[in-house]
Structure 1
Amino acid sequence: MTSRQDLGQTEPRVRTAAVIGLGYVGLPLVLHLLRKDFRIVGYDLDARKISLLKAGKSYITEIEDVEIMEALSTGRLVLTDRYQEMEEAEAFIVCVPTPLSDRGTPDLSYLTQAVSEISRLVPNGKLIVLESSTYPGTTREVVAPILERIGLTVGQDVYLAYSPERIDPGNKDYPCHMIPKVVSGMTPTCLRQVEELYRGVFTKIHSVSSVESAEMAKIMENAYRLINISFVNELAIICDELNLDIWEVIEAAKTKPFGFSGFYPGPGIGGHCIPVDPIYLEWKLQQYGMGSGFIQLSQSVNHKMPQYIAGQVQKILDTKSLQHARILVYGIAYKKDIADSRESSALQLLQVLHSMGADAVYHDPYIPNVKVNGGIWNSVEITFELLAEMDAVILATDHSCIPLSLLLEHAKLVYDTRNATAGYDGIAKARVVRLGGGGIS
């Protein structure tokens, strides 16, 4: 029998990549790279995450345990909280958080720590790809100097690239590999290296001329969403005053086949990108004596939405204050069908209700507890008895599993910030009022 070796053929080389940060960006990327026959070292500083993954358990709602088990069964996945186990990696993909500090400024500590650790492992032509969202200039002004301080020349000794993550948690229509991948490099050689890494991994690669352009593209994507969500939230408030239905208005405007994209109102913005990335740009602009009026105004509009919603509920209840009013907030996640409450406007809504004297509780099927006002709040079970005690239910997140029939049958008042009750008019026993639905009669 003739072997592949007899014909002068060899098995394709298995590439080894390290993925640093196994959250909503890193973990899906790990699973996809394994499907593309990579050998992967997955790192996270959270030892609990590593233990769960080694046990075949997922901590991300949209990733099933069976997917983790399948990944482990390949024999090509190493999970660790030690950087030393990455020495064999040819490429290091950094997907760590880039949050805001307590002062509202960029916090790059996770990123700089990761690069500092990697720098000890990267000689001999290895590639570092940053995927974390950040302001234009971070790769060149913050990351490259860390490598240069230990004597590495970017483009020769080590290749440095930026390729922004574009994960949309909960969006099953666009898994990570189906989203076009923007790539950039510090030098032309660096760009070729990242193109080679991701060619065949993602459906489409889009190269740009500089790392700053790629960094700005990511900021632009999220600032675009921030501004448009803020605009439609302001229109919802206006429609309440004009006794118009914002939801009907949006559907009418969407019939135009060009020049319009539909955005929808809600209790505010949330997540790891939209509330944070534009602030990164604002911080950078301040160094040039500039600012973005659109971003500043958009932040202002969204920050007042929880206060506006609480005020609307108070008007509906026809009370001078919410002191001792019992209110259930349904949904704490910043968007439907995920277990992520980062920067969620629903958390701010709970704080506002509490500050106004309301006895507020919450229910979220994906988030069993949250930290609010320095204390831990637990999700309550929705029962007939609980609903009978509530003066109002505020729908803050439109999870697919929302028990609408139960709420509309047994609640006294449902204030709907997501239009989840559309089509239930005339059926509900509860009084239903929608944000931007035409005011309070």
Structure 2
Amino acid sequence: MDNLAQDPADALARRIAERTAVVGVIGLGYVGLPLALAAVRAGFSVIGFDINPDRVARINAGEPVISHLDTAGMRAALATGRFRASTEMDELGTSDAILICVPTPLTPQREPDLSYIRATAADIARTLRPGQLVVLESTTWPGTTEEVLKPILEATGLTSGREIFLAFSPEREDPGNRTHTLSTVPKVVGGDGARARDLADALYGAIVARTVPVSSTATAEAVKLTENIFRAVNIALVNELKVVYDAMGIDVWEVIEAAASKPFGYMPFWPGPGLGGHCIPIDPFYLTWKAREFDVATRFIELAGEVNRGMPRYVVERLALALDRQRGRPLGGAQILLIGVAYKRDLDDMRESPALKLIALLEERGAGIAYHDPLVPEIPPSRAHPGLAGRRSVALTPEALRACDAALVVTDHDGIDYALIAAEAPLVVDTRNALARHGQTGEHIVKA
């Protein structure tokens, strides 16, 4: 038996350095697919795994699957012969490095749901072999890699740090951000031991511009939560300031913009109709849940969640008040046209979008709802609002705007004609300051 066979870590390190290692990426969504393509560009052969056969077929055919993704880049990766997608988890045994990019949602009781991680770990365990590196990228509570993933994999008889190597490297994807892309954002890497950390560091170091090694997987898991909790708390702060300043007749957007002129000691965050996306509304509660194990209170995090979750109701009340004052009519029976329903500007992503909660609240109050979103032609199914699935976007026409009692701007896509909205809608309630940013003013435009 040669030295390479005796030392799986050295053998894997050599394959990574020579770009002969095969990388498997599990979960071809907003995180996994860009990561897979970046690994191909770095010179690796990549197999992308996903349980959705339609998505796999579309990827292999070079068809668009994510609105902001460079489809031409995906086709270029396919053309190299070093990338393909698969639904066959038994092929995981052919991968030298396996990167896990699966969802980590909350249960209806707002507790961590690690079912996707556990199911993925079981899939990996069936074909696990010596010399494989397994890296979890999914955001989760500190300790998940060692307490959940490691026992499932070591139940095969293979030992972490000796035959197999485990690491955690949190995804830092910002969908739609053209300035800070996956390859340019530093990658935090923590391992279950130094050998695992060094192997993961070598792999990601070949894919991204810079890595940031840390002392453990738990530290790396805590880094990701800290980043998103920072955002959640500061967004909650400006959402609360919005309510306070509105009561004083002060425009919070003007305040923030002026405050941002200070070159030190301040960072602008912007209010909105509520939190959306796969990170900020969810990730902080992974830490609050884990903190209970140590009998530690997380008051800032929980208060921030309370403030942010209350924003849709605040918007509804502002809309009801504006209808009463400017249109002389109640919210019940009013026709409301939502402008934008995706959770973020210029994306088609509906995950945790506050628009879904707004539609539900408005319909509870008796309002009639239509929506326009050029990127979301049809509302997809969601666990929290299954009854909204299948609703379709209407065209943004003068007739549609004149027919509504109010237009409610929820998502400020760049491609929307805000001048038309200002000219034709009898009342506009703007949760994003979008009309002002596009030079539209008027007494019938109300910020919320």
TM-score of the superposed pair, with normalisation by structure 1: 0.93
How far apart are residue 136 of structure 1 and its match? 0.5
Corresponding residue for 1:139? 145
Tell whether the 8 Å contact from 2:24 to 2:99 is kept in structure 1 after alignment. Answer: yes
Give deviations 1:210-244, integer Å, cap 9, x for gaps. Answer: 11111011001001100000100010011110111
Quickly say closer, same or farther: Cα 1:175–1:192, change in 2 above 3 A.
Answer: same
Q: Say whether 1:362 aligns with 2:375.
A: no
Tell whether the 8 Å contact from 2:272 to 2:431 is kept in structure 1 after alignment. Answer: yes
Quickly say closer, same or farther: Cα 1:191–1:167, change in 2 above 3 A.
Answer: same
How far apart are residue 201 of structure 1 and its match? 1.4
Say which SS state the counterpart of residue 118 (structure 2) adopts: helix
Say which SS state the counterpart of residue 422 (structure 1) adopts: helix
How far apart are residue 424 of structure 1 and its match? 5.8
Q: Say whether 1:433 aligns with 2:442.
A: no
CA distance in 2, matches of 1:99, 1:203: 29
Quickly say closer, same or farther: Cα 1:13–1:211, change in 2 above 3 A.
Answer: closer
CA distance in 1, matches of 2:233, 2:438: 31
Q: Say whether 1:272 aligns with 2:278.
A: yes
Tell whether the 8 Å contact from 1:409 to 1:430 is kept in structure 2 after alignment. Answer: no
Say which SS state the counterpart of residue 87 (structure 1) adopts: helix
Corresponding residue for 1:418? 432
**Which amino acid in structure 1 is aligned with residue 120 of structure 2?**
A
Tell whether the 8 Å contact from 2:346 to 2:375 is kept in structure 1 after alignment. Answer: yes
Give deviations 1:337-367, integer Å, cap 9, x for gaps. Answer: 1111111111111111111110011111111
CA distance in 2, matches of 1:67, 1:169: 16
Farther-moved stretch of structure 1 (142-151 vs 128-137): 142-151
Say which SS state the counterpart of residue 177 (structure 1) adopts: coil
CA distance in 1, matches of 2:175, 2:134: 25
Which of 89, 98, 103 is matched with 1:83 structurally?
A: 89
How far apart are residue 65 of structure 1 and its match? 2.8
Gaps of 5+ in 1: 1-10, 436-441
Aligned length: 424
Say which SS state the counterpart of residue 369 (structure 1) adopts: coil
Farther-moved stretch of structure 1 (136-145 vs 281-290): 281-290
Tell whether the 8 Å contact from 1:411 to 1:430 is kept in structure 2 after alignment. Answer: no
CA distance in 2, matches of 1:101, 1:308: 25
Say which SS state the counterpart of residue 206 (structure 1) adopts: strand
CA distance in 1, matches of 2:397, 2:64: 29
Say which SS state the counterpart of residue 228 (structure 1) adopts: helix
Corresponding residue for 1:334? 343
Say which SS state the counterpart of residue 317 (structure 2) adopts: helix
Farther-moved stretch of structure 1 (159-168 vs 189-198): 189-198
How far apart are residue 423 of structure 1 and its match? 5.3
**Which amino acid in structure 2 is aligned with residue 379 of structure 1?**
S
Tell whether the 8 Å contact from 1:410 to 1:429 is kept in structure 2 after alignment. Answer: no
Say which SS state the counterpart of residue 49 (structure 1) adopts: helix
Tell whether the 8 Å contact from 2:49 to 2:89 is kept in structure 1 after alignment. Answer: yes
TM-score of the superposed pair, with normalisation by structure 2: 0.92
CA distance in 1, matches of 2:290, 2:397: 49
CA distance in 2, matches of 1:281, 1:424: 39
Corresponding residue for 1:401? 415
Which of 201, 209, 216 is matched with 1:203 structurally?
A: 209
1:305-344 aligned within 5 A? 305-318=311-324, 321-344=330-353
